[in-house]
Homo-oligomer: A and B are copies of this chain.
Amino acid sequence: MMYKPKRKRFKRKKSWLSPSWRTCLPMTVMILLMWSYAAVAQDLSNADLQRWLDTVWVVMTGVLVFFMNAGFAMLETGFCRQKNAVNILSKNLIVFALSTVAFWAIGFSLMFSNGGFLDPIMGGLKGFFFSGREADYKNVFTSLDWANVPLSAKFFFQLVFAGTAATIVSGAVAERIKFLAFFIFSLFLVGIAYPITGHWIWGGGWLQKSVGFYDFAGSTVVHCVGGWAALIGAIILGPRTGKYQGGESFAIAGHNLSISTLGCFILWLGWFGFNPGSTLSADPEAITHIVLTTNMAAATGAVAATVFSWRYFGKPDLTMTINGVLAGLVGITASCAFVSVRSAAVIGVVAGILVVLFVEAFDRWKVDDPVGAISVHLGCGLWGTLAVGLFSAGPGDLYEKGLGPDKGLLLGGGIGQFFAQLVGILAVAGFTVLSSWIAWTLIKMALGGIRVSPEEEIEGLDIGEHGMPAYSGFEIKRDHGL
């Protein structure tokens, strides 16, 4: 626009373009236009194709994450007693339905829309009851602009993540919570609490923009948040009747380890969506690297937990193998894109040992967590978040400068990233503990208690809460009143 050619000069001097070249200049435009037009009219452009492919990737991985709900349902139900199976199944089935409604109505907007001057702290209110129509949300979900897929794809992928956080709570409060109390808490968690801390980290909030906190696929965003909410719920509820008697802790065996193992496999499967899908793009190097780190940590977590519990308890404990798989998966979630495969193996080993220790510790502290959800998701979520500061390969190795955390402490980096991770952990802990406590307390007041009656607990929540047994036709054995 600012350029005006001087004709004289071109006539006098030899043009920098030879005549052959010059005569063809208009041609450039013509051919490129024809080519562009042909591409538009007949075929998708390369940019379109990438967007199509990225969308397929996001949808398929999101579907795998959705399926984790089945994994949690089977895992938790099998780890509990048969008299409470219907209750746990009901909770785990309805919770994703509730999550869908709550995240659609409120959560998605609070987490990812632009909160204006409040943006460091929370998202805005313009995306409530998400319509699915991208044109309705110009400049609303700006924090997700980086991803090259339809807004509906982003919504779906974030929804299945939000659902996961709510499911984590289910296991820790199992076998004694009123169905309605869990129903309401799930709406609160997915609609309000999870989106707010999620906004800090993934929605453009202060932890992301000011602190440089990194959590690739949600060790903190999903697992610690679910874990803190579960911990507060378990504390407020108190332990199951008969669990702690005369200073001793009684093991209450799960009723169906077949479906628990199936649940573990389904969760492992789902994590192949959870972690690599968080790229929101089908970039081959990124997704296959994340597949390897994810699987490696799961494997070393399983082996470490099995061998460690073998030493510890004298026998290889299937429930610890299961929790070891999950520990490794939760542990690698924050750093899966930032660490090497070998670091992932170490992260998994530590997670596998930690989960055994955490299970023992929570039991000693009389926090009754029937399925080990707090140990797995909170314990290893914390470890995984810190692991980013310890093991990150650093910019220039696995990723470009500005796209990931600083080099980890154990790899010769500074303490800075580890400190940022610590800040994030504390901030999320503070908010989630406080807000969960308030929510559980309010629900308790509203319902006149969140715990079923002692009689109902002894008889089983299936009959009390739902009026039906899970296993009609089988002879049931009652041990020690449990």
Q: Which A residues contact B (CB, under 8 angstroms)?
A: 18-28, 30-32, 34-35, 39, 42-47, 49-57, 59-60, 62-64, 66-67, 69-70, 73-74, 77-78, 81-83, 85-86, 89-90, 92-94, 96-101, 104, 129-134, 149-150, 152-153, 155-156, 159, 179, 253-259, 261-262, 264-266, 268-269, 272, 276, 282-285, 287-289, 291-293, 295-296, 298-303, 306, 313-319, 321-322, 325, 340-342, 345, 465-479
**Which residues does chain B contribute within 8 Å of A295, judged by CB atoms?**
66, 100, 156, 159
**Which residues does chain B contribute within 8 Å of A100, judged by CB atoms?**
295-296, 298-300
In the docked arrangement, what's the CA distance between A55 and B52, Å? 12
In the docked arrangement, what's the CA distance between A302 and B95, Å? 10
Q: Supply 25 A–B pairs (Cβ within 8 Å), ascending by A.
A: A20-B22, A21-B26, A21-B27, A27-B31, A31-B32, A43-B45, A45-B46, A70-B265, A77-B261, A86-B257, A97-B299, A97-B321, A104-B296, A132-B340, A134-B285, A150-B285, A152-B291, A153-B288, A155-B292, A253-B468, A253-B472, A256-B470, A257-B471, A315-B467, A475-B477
A204 CB to closest chain B CB, in angstroms?
Answer: 22
Report yes or no: B284 in contact with A90, Cβ–Cβ below 8 A.
no
Report yes or no: B129 in contact with A342, Cβ–Cβ below 8 A.
yes
**Which residues does chain B contribute within 8 Å of A288, judged by CB atoms?**
55, 59, 149-150, 152-153, 156
**Which residues does chain B contribute within 8 Å of A21, judged by CB atoms?**
26-27, 30
| In the complex, residue of chain B having the shortest beta-carbon distance to the beta carbon of A397 | B133
Interface of A is mostly: helix
Among B25, B73, B256, B314, contact of A20 (Cβ-Cβ < 8 Å): B25
In the docked arrangement, what's the CA distance between A199 and B98, Å? 38
Report yes or no: A32 in contact with B30, Cβ–Cβ below 8 A.
no
| In the complex, residue of chain B having the shortest beta-carbon distance to the beta carbon of A268 | B66
**Which residues does chain B contribute within 8 Å of A468, judged by CB atoms?**
253, 257, 317-319
Report yes or no: A93 in contact with B322, Cβ–Cβ below 8 A.
yes
In the docked arrangement, what's the CA distance between A262 and B88, Å? 12
Report yes or no: B93 in contact with A264, Cβ–Cβ below 8 A.
yes
**Which residues does chain B contribute within 8 Å of A256, judged by CB atoms?**
258, 470-471
| In the complex, residue of chain B having the shortest beta-carbon distance to the beta carbon of A22 | B20
A98-B31 in contact given A314-B467, A315-B466 (Cβ < 8 Å): no
A72 CB to closest chain B CB, in angstroms?
Answer: 10
A27-B27 in contact given A321-B93, A467-B313 (Cβ < 8 Å): yes
**Which residues does chain B contribute within 8 Å of A23, judged by CB atoms?**
19-20, 23-24
**Which residues does chain B contribute within 8 Å of A86, judged by CB atoms?**
257, 318
Known: A27-B31, A52-B282, A317-B467. 8 other contacts (CB 8 A): A20-B22, A53-B53, A94-B316, A97-B321, A104-B296, A179-B316, A253-B473, A256-B470
| In the complex, residue of chain B having the shortest beta-carbon distance to the beta carbon of A60 | B60
In the docked arrangement, what's the CA distance between A82 and B26, Å? 80
Among B18, B97, B285, contact of A303 (Cβ-Cβ < 8 Å): B97
| In the complex, residue of chain B having the shortest beta-carbon distance to the beta carbon of A50 | B44
In the docked arrangement, what's the CA distance between A322 and B132, Å? 26
